[in-house]
Amino acid sequence: MPKPLIIVFPLLLLLLCSTVNGTQQQQRFKEAPQFYNSPDCSSILNDAESESNDDDDAAIFCSDKAVHVAMTLDTAYIRGSMAAILSILQHSSCPQNIAFHFVSSASANASQLRAIIFTSFPYLKFRVYTFDDSAVARLISTSIRSALDCPLNYARSYLANILPLCVRRVVYLDSDLVLVDDIAKLAATPLGHDSVLAAPEYCNANFTSYFTPSFWSNPSLPLTFANRKACYFNTGVMVIDLDRWRDGQFTTRIEEWMELQKRMRIYELGSLPPFLLVFAGKIVPVDHRWNQHGLGGDNFRGLCRDLHPGPVSLLHWSGKGKPWARLDASRPCPLDALWAPYDLLQTPFSLDS
């Protein structure tokens, strides 16, 4: 195998991902309304000394009383991120107690992303961190959907390193979803004595299909799941105990599987299977209402999907199709109408009065 190819490949990945970004720089977004805490929200400042706004802002990023939300931020998906943020604030009883931790690629223009968020959400408590995605690009092998190969997609495995040490619990969310319920309920999911992660899990899904025959036929690899009731879960909505993650060095464990994947193909999809290898069967199951996933539709034929039976707290357009793209193309799926009210894109025809 000629060495130069191996080196060029991660660069290609970065280029592919940023080409997608380059096409969408003209978007303008409306300003969202300001959202206020209800009277019974706990004050983040209770145990701090000062009461100036600046200290309030600083205090929330380390407060256990805040709800910490982590999302990635890039120009390709920013319209989705904006809708997600708006939906979170709108359905929260204590919107001023939410701290947003945005992770952007080191190759992105972070000040531009910051400015876009600030223009639509001037009151939002947020930080933008940069993720050195060239480090992870080296670990990525190609998958069937190239969008899944963007290194920023792997940022969720590095949150424990990216976020400040004082942040001990975080809700990670993808950018193609909206909440229709209070995120504080999800964030408060009990993680028991030793669980690292909580997410809705799906034990009816065919777990075997997430790994290749060479994984299952290996004499030792399938033993990974011995004594575990391993079920599929979607990594787009997760509650993570960052202290336990750091103690258990789970980033390294995920990277070890990615290293193995580079040597022998043990799975097809992008960032999901390493999570399954490390966590499946060990997570705290969250009610399915918190991830009504798959609304992006069928990966191959682009068919529309319906909701799963039961209540809905979070709608997730996972899959190939995205509601904003289908709405722009005037070919929306029926459920895309539930995303549209959160769209902050400023169109030439939607002039604010």
Ligand X SMILES: *[C@@H]1O[C@H](CO)[C@@H](O)[C@H](O)[C@H]1NC(C)=O
Contacting positions for ligand X (CB under 6 A):
109, 111-112, 115, 206, 208-209
Residue 73: CB atoms within 10 Å: 27
Nearer of residues 241 and 268 to ligand X, judged by Cβ: 268
- Token output for 5: 């190819």
Nearer of residues 36 and 118 to ligand X, judged by Cβ: 118
Question: With contact defined as beta carbons under 8 Å apart, do 99 and 69 qualify?
Answer: yes
Nearer of residues 214 and 249 to ligand X, judged by Cβ: 214
Q: 105, 167, 103, 163: which is closest to 136 by C-alpha?
A: 105
Nearer of residues 25 and 52 to ligand X, judged by Cβ: 25
Q: How far does the chain reach from its first CA to its final CA, in angstroms?
A: 62
Query: Minimum Å distance from CB 37 to ligand X?
Result: 32
Nearer of residues 208 and 249 to ligand X, judged by Cβ: 208
- Residue 127: strand pairing partners: 101
Nearer of residues 109 and 346 to ligand X, judged by Cβ: 109
Nearer of residues 109 and 161 to ligand X, judged by Cβ: 109
Nearer of residues 113 and 199 to ligand X, judged by Cβ: 113
Give me the phi and psi of 131, to 5 degrees please: -110, 120
C-alpha span between 287 and 305 (Å, rounded): 20
- Token output for 187: 């964030």
Query: Minimum Å distance from CB 110 to ligand X?
Result: 8
Query: Minimum Å distance from CB 134 to ligand X?
Result: 17
Query: Minimum Å distance from CB 126 to ligand X?
Result: 17
Query: Minimum Å distance from CB 128 to ligand X?
Result: 12
Residue 328: CB atoms within 10 Å: 13
Nearer of residues 115 and 188 to ligand X, judged by Cβ: 115
DSSP state of 2: -
Question: With contact defined as beta carbons under 8 Å apart, do 215 and 208 qualify?
Answer: no
Coil, helix or strand at residue 274: helix
Question: With contact defined as beta carbons under 8 Å apart, do 67 and 88 qualify?
Answer: no
C-alpha span between 90 and 86 (Å, rounded): 6
Query: Minimum Å distance from CB 266 to ligand X?
Result: 13
Those residues with Cβ within 8 angstroms of residue 66's Cβ, 6 or more apart along the chain or in another chain: 44, 60, 97, 98, 99
- C-alpha to C-alpha distances, 63 to 10, 329, 340, nearest whole angstrom: 37, 43, 33
Coil, helix or strand at residue 86: helix
Those residues with Cβ within 8 angstroms of residue 61's Cβ, 6 or more apart along the chain or in another chain: 99, 101, 125, 127, 164, 166, 167
Query: Minimum Å distance from CB 115 to ligand X?
Result: 6
Query: Minimum Å distance from CB 114 to ligand X?
Result: 9
Query: Minimum Å distance from CB 75 to ligand X?
Result: 11
H helices of 174-271, in order, are 183-187, 213-216, 242-248, 250-263
